[in-house]
Amino acid sequence: MKIGFFDSGIGGLSVLYEARRAMPRADFLYYADCDRAPYGEKTEAEVQAYVFSAVEFLLSKGAEAIVLACNTATSVAIRALRERYTVPIIGMEPAVKRALDLSPEGRILVTGTPITLRGDKLRELIGGLDAAHRVDLLPLPGLVKFAERGEFSSSAVEEYVRGELLPFHLPDYSVLVLGCTHFNYFKDTLAAVLPPTVRIVDGNEGTVRQLIRRIGGVPTDGTGELTCYISDRPVTDPAEQARIATLLARLDLLFQGEA
């Protein structure tokens, strides 16, 4: 089975990484729309047009299911996509429910892009779950820009994160939710800045579980092939291939740190 993954850039590789671990025989297509990233500060109409274009491209390459490995794209386009296409389309949403389940009392800080955090989809999710009004929101668009240029643990990244967290009394919080797939590359940096009592959660595992349910189980008929595209262009340049390999290696490192 061939499964298409889409993100505005390289963040969705973190979800793809989880999917490849769970489905080693599936064949994957990965589309990173780096030419038009970041999405989080663009208009909703622009983002929706980009997403539809990417989904059409992945379907033309044989994708039998699509994962929007991008919270921003999901918040803007998932409903319209499901109305138009019959293939399984799996979106992402910040793991608010998991955070509330993990923390019966402490406050929850949900990070994401500006579009995700102001979107109706997230407001509806929080409204249906957070009866005690324990969830706060923090946009971190700067992390997307750091990620796209491969800067994950510099003093500039740490200074940015510390500055954005400054208005919050962190000892009050028990969970920080990563509501953008780009943020997954910064787990070690975030852990170094946050109090040790704050857990960091993302929606990757839940998204992959939902994908497996929607396609009827773990595929066994593929070869595990991965084909990558950057805004419609096959990744054939050695420098681009090396960049993807470096990002996957970082995810290996972060996963081993969690294990």
Contacts of residue 153, defined as CB under 8 A and 6 or more positions apart, other chains included, come to: 186, 188, 189
Catalytic residue among 180, 201, 228, 247: 180
CA distance 76 to 80: 9
Catalytic residue among 1, 47, 70, 92: 70
Q: Is residue 54 a contact partner of residue 31, using CB atoms and an 8 Å limit?
A: yes
Query: In this structure, what token pair is assigned to residue 230?
Result: 């950057």
Which whole-number Å values give the CA distances from 130 to 25, 137, 202, 214, 231, in the listed order?
39, 13, 18, 27, 38
Q: Is there a catalytic annotation at residue 34? A: no
Active-site annotation, residues: 70, 180
